[in-house]
Structure 1
Amino acid sequence: MATWEDLLAFVRTEYQLASGTVEDGETEYRIIEDNDDEVRILVEYDDNRSQIVIVYHEQLDGHEDWVQVISVCGRASDVDLQRLLEELGQTSVVCGAVIIGEHVVLRHSLPLVNLDINEFTDPLNFVAETADHLEALFFRNDDY
């Protein structure tokens, strides 16, 4: 996989079949929004929790194509950020936490050139699972 268009084609095929979902064990994935630079995937777990993951096209320095895998945990003002970062440090090696606007967001970025599909699908799953874990632990609600 080498281009954003290639990744989009994979995501559209893998996560938006005729039934609207793809089952991976205990998890279902469904595209809920799709445009040229961003795809939103709803990840639903058997425990009735869910997480939205945003797959976003980014160009570094106007010429290097990257993909960002993003998931919101909750509002930054509603959490002890030190405790959240300590938990993230103990539970994940894949993503980092940032504040975008009012929200704590987990983000993982990957260059598209020479990207293997497992380098995308595994981080997507890890970002979703980690964001859902942090949301449940620190925010209690399932808002994102």
Structure 2
Amino acid sequence: MASWGDLAAYVRDTYDVISEEDDEIRILFNFEQFDEDDERTQVVILVREVLDKLHEWVQIASPIGLAADVDLHAFLVEVGNSSIACGAAIMGDHVVLRHSLPLQDLDIHEFTDPLALLAGTADQLEEQFFGGDNY
């Protein structure tokens, strides 16, 4: 990958895009592509970020529930114990998992592997802490 435009084109060809703006693409990550018996999905938001007005990055984020509806201490302990490729944050009213990658010289597997890990972890934590599949 060399730019946001290159990544956006790849994402449009590979994933189920549910909305798109200039610097943001929302996809519905479908776990069925990996396991035909798994009908769960996870909303994942890809956002172009520019560091120091110079370097393009992509932020991968997935909302999993409302911050007001979870024991944040227990949630963060679980993220610390089970997460490899993401961290937790509160964005607006939502708890999200997110990960960021520089776009310059990005190999596609450096994007797809963290994306799949983040979506899977978000889906698991959403079920565990929020009791459903709402995002």
With normalisation by structure 1, the TM-score equals 0.85
C-alpha separation in 2, matches of 1:88 and 1:42:
22
5+ residue gaps, structure 2, are 32-36
- Please give the residue correspondences for 1:100-119 in structure 2 after superposition, counting only pairs within 5 Å: 100-119=91-110
Runs of 4+ in 1 over 4 A off after TM superposition: none
C-alpha separation in 2, matches of 1:116 and 1:142:
31
C-alpha separation in 2, matches of 1:74 and 1:2:
33
Q: CA RMSD in A?
A: 1.1
C-alpha separation in 2, matches of 1:79 and 1:115:
35
Instruction: Answer 1 or 2: which has greater helix percent.
Output: 2
SS at match of 1:142: coil
Q: What is aligned with 1:91? A: 82
C-alpha separation in 2, matches of 1:118 and 1:55:
16
Deviation at 1:82, TM superposition (A): 1.2
SS at match of 2:84: coil
Aligned pair count reads 130
C-alpha separation in 1, matches of 2:20 and 2:69:
30
5+ residue gaps, structure 1, are 16-29
C-alpha separation in 2, matches of 1:10 and 1:43:
14
Q: What is aligned with 1:139? A: 130
